[in-house]
Structure 1
């Protein structure tokens, strides 16, 4: 991975450990030239930079989708709430300005397109086949399943589905991404690799 982009990714706000970020990058770097990478759940752009670095290598494009109001665990009173991301005018979380700064500073705006909106709504009108789909949006059962339903059908046969925060043991974390993994396997995805909580699958048909 490009050294400067790796340093930028590791320094960016977010929750992805470096080894998982590198595994995400490696999965995207295997794509055919000119492919499309779609990320659901941008936050402040940490994982986006790993994907952007891979896109540069293979001539792909990255589209990242988020409403930028934060997931449930990012809200006030929850464990992952960051007061520096609260808009003082509205009192609401707004990660979009930080994302803009992250992408601009890293110089990846030429390969990353930001879509601001709820993933399940954007997914209704989306029509372009996806070569790699990275699911890392809301982690409630309802939202995780909604993200999968809206986007997994767009992954082309042979394409990749990457799911973050997969914890089979409830003692390690929430179960929603794990349930999405089980559903994906039933739907024709085959698991290829595991790195920490990151799972890489391939669509068989």
Structure 2
């Protein structure tokens, strides 16, 4: 499998080189014909890395409402980014045929999701109760041996650090962090 690890320079995003390295390593662990679910896809930078780093038979489901929120103004200004929209996302990942785009809010708009998940990545709402609701909803859909992961494991995001640590303890599994990307394997 040929892996391209340098996205087009036009995709805005807040991933460090270590974050990208973590995504590349995690994506390579998803089996052929597997399923990755990413929530909080925004402009598609992490989505692009998932799609290009996983086997081409892996489907990357990207979930986002693609609606403006006040916190996005900082990102938009920092990267001189266009207005957020499903169309902008689609343009940014147009060279990723294994991406499937889903517009909506997680978990409420995806409560009927039934496809088993090999890897779940959360970069959406970073506070409770939504963060915990996403972990509970998607965590039960992740296969045994699959990966539950996300972004922004740092002291500025207390709920992420707390809930992820609790989940690792409950599952009796090791919590891993590279950059601001965290992950645990489901028993």
Task: Give the TM-score band, short-chain normalised.
Answer: 0.7 to 0.9
Aligned length: 185
Q: Is the 8 A contact 1:29 1:58 kept in 2?
A: no
Cα gap change, 1:34 to 1:166, in 2 (>3 Å):
same
Tell me by how many angstroms 1:136 deviates.
0.8
Tell me by how many angstroms 1:71 deviates.
5.2
Q: Secondary structure, in 3 states, of the residue corresponding to 2:100?
A: strand
Q: Distance in 1 between matches of 2:172 and 2:47?
A: 23
Q: Secondary structure, in 3 states, of the residue corresponding to 1:190?
A: coil
Q: Distance in 1 between matches of 2:149 and 2:141?
A: 13
Unaligned runs of 5+ in 1: 87-93
After superposition, where does 1:51-130 map in structure 2 within 5 Å?
51-55=50-54, 57=55, 59-70=57-68, 73-74=71-72, 79-82=74-77, 84-86=81-83, 94-104=84-94, 107-108=95-96, 110-130=97-117
Residue 26 (structure 1) aligns with: 25
Unaligned runs of 5+ in 2: none
Cα gap change, 1:116 to 1:138, in 2 (>3 Å):
same
Q: Is the 8 A contact 2:174 2:184 kept in 1?
A: yes
Matched, 1:151 2:138: yes
Cα gap change, 1:21 to 1:184, in 2 (>3 Å):
same
Residue 183 (structure 1) aligns with: 166
Q: Secondary structure, in 3 states, of the residue corresponding to 2:173?
A: strand
Q: Secondary structure, in 3 states, of the residue corresponding to 2:147?
A: strand
Cα gap change, 1:99 to 1:126, in 2 (>3 Å):
same
Q: Could you say which structure has the higher helix fraction? A: 1
TM-score, reference length from structure 2? 0.87
Q: Is the 8 A contact 1:31 1:58 kept in 2?
A: no
TM-score, reference length from structure 1? 0.80
Q: Distance in 1 between matches of 2:139 and 2:172?
A: 10
Q: Secondary structure, in 3 states, of the residue corresponding to 2:153?
A: coil
Q: Secondary structure, in 3 states, of the residue corresponding to 1:100?
A: helix
Tell me by how many angstroms 1:30 deviates.
1.4
Runs of at least 4 residues off by over 6 Å: none
| RMSD of aligned alpha carbons | 2.3
Residue 195 (structure 1) aligns with: 178
Cα gap change, 1:151 to 1:197, in 2 (>3 Å):
same
Q: Is the 8 A contact 1:72 1:138 kept in 2?
A: no
